[in-house]
């Protein structure tokens, strides 16, 4: 019995000979493990984009500052300057705040809090001034460091009222640039007292804030030396004197350290911290603003105190 079923013949399709095509493409000459890199032309869209970038780059160097020279860069035909743009923005900000800055300078710093708008402006402006000019020494959080006072506590060498802080910021401490700078100087007792007397008075100062004496006998001997040599500035009870910038010794706050070795070093060689007169760097409004900000950090005391 014959099979009459139609047999489907495969359709002949012409398949491009890819290998034959690639054989006609030159290579770059590179070969890795027998694999060669073909040197096909770049897509035209990529080439056009590349050429456009070159043209744009040339135009940019002509129009804007670009090529470095000996004393600066080429200015460009448009005369654009990022510094000039910033200066314009700063001038605009100064003009916008001129009225309130004038108001801030015209009122006593103790009266700033009476105007909520002025107080808010002074605190915000003062915070920016503090971060720029004060945080390097007193810390970003105003907690201070060894030799740099903490502005968050109630211990103030020269007074913590708003106007006292303003004066300190304006004129500084022991600098040579401002004749009105706050000034005091602790004697170098290493040139006045013997090493034995210095050790004795250091032992006494160690105990003046209520700590137990390391050597009670030396502390007792140092009490008399303290009254003769130190009480004139630090007071008989060690409470200090803000009018002279003499720190209190009867609390737990130590600017340079309160361990016995540090106290001996301080008495022997003295300390001479310097603060610049910020009035030479800041405007009167900025001084008033940063003083208001510092007074409000939590450590400033009120006028009644």
| Residues placed in the known binding site for heme c | 134, 137-138, 186, 230, 233-234, 275
Question: Do 150 and 300 contact (CB within 8 A), yes or no?
Answer: no
Q: Measured on CA atoms in the order 58, 60, 65, 68, is the torsion positive or negative? A: negative
Q: Would you mind telling me the total number of residues written for the chain in this entry? A: 305
Which residues are known binding-site members?
A: 134, 137-138, 186, 230, 233-234, 275
Token reading at 236? 């008989």
Sorted by sequence, the CB contacts under 8 Å of residue 188 that are 6+ apart come out as 268, 269, 270
DSSP letters of 226-273? HHHHTHHHH-TTS--BTTTTBPPSSSS--SS--SHHHHHHHHHH----
**Helix, strand or coil, per DSSP, at residue 162:** helix
User: CA-to-CA distance for 205 and 222, rounded, in angstroms?
Assistant: 8
CA-based nearest residue to 184, from 153, 159, 209, 208: 159
Distance in Å from the first CA to the final CA of the chain: 127
């Amino acid at each position: 019995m014959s099979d009459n079923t139609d047999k489907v013949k495969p359709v002949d399709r012409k398949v491009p000979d890819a290998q034959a095509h690639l054989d006609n493409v030159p290579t770059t000459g590179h070969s890795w493990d027998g694999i060669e890199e073909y040197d096909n032309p770049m897509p035209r869209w990529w080439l056009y984009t590349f050429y456009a970038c070159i043209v744009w780059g040339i135009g940019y160097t002509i129009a804007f500052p670009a090529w470095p020279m000996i004393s600066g860069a080429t200015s460009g035909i448009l005369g654009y300057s990022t510094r000039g743009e910033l200066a314009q923005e700063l001038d605009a900000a100064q003009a916008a705040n001129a009225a309130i800055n004038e108001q801030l300078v015209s009122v006593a710093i103790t009266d700033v809090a009476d105007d909520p708008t002025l107080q808010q402006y002074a605190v915000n402006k003062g915070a920016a001034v503090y971060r720029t000019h004060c945080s390097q020494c007193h810390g970003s959080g105003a907690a201070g460091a060894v030799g740099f006072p903490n502005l968050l506590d109630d211990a103030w060498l020269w007074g913590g009222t708003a106007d006292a802080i303003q004066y300190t910021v304006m004129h500084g401490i022991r600098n040579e640039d401002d004749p009105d700078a706050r000034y005091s100087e602790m004697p170098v007792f290493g040139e006045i007292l013997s090493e034995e007397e210095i050790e004795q008075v250091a032992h006494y100062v160690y105990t003046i804030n209520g700590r137990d004496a390391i050597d009670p006998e030396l502390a007792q001997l140092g009490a008399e030396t303290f009254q003769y040599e130190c009480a004139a500035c630090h007071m008989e009870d060690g409470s200090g004197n803000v009018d002279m910038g003499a720190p209190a010794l009867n609390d737990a706050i130590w600017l340079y350290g309160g361990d016995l070795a540090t106290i001996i070093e301080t008495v022997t060689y003295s300390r001479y911290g310097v603060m610049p007169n910020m009035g030479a760097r800041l405007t009167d409004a900025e001084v008033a603003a940063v003083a208001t900000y510092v007074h409000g950090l939590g450590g400033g005391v009120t006028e009644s105190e």
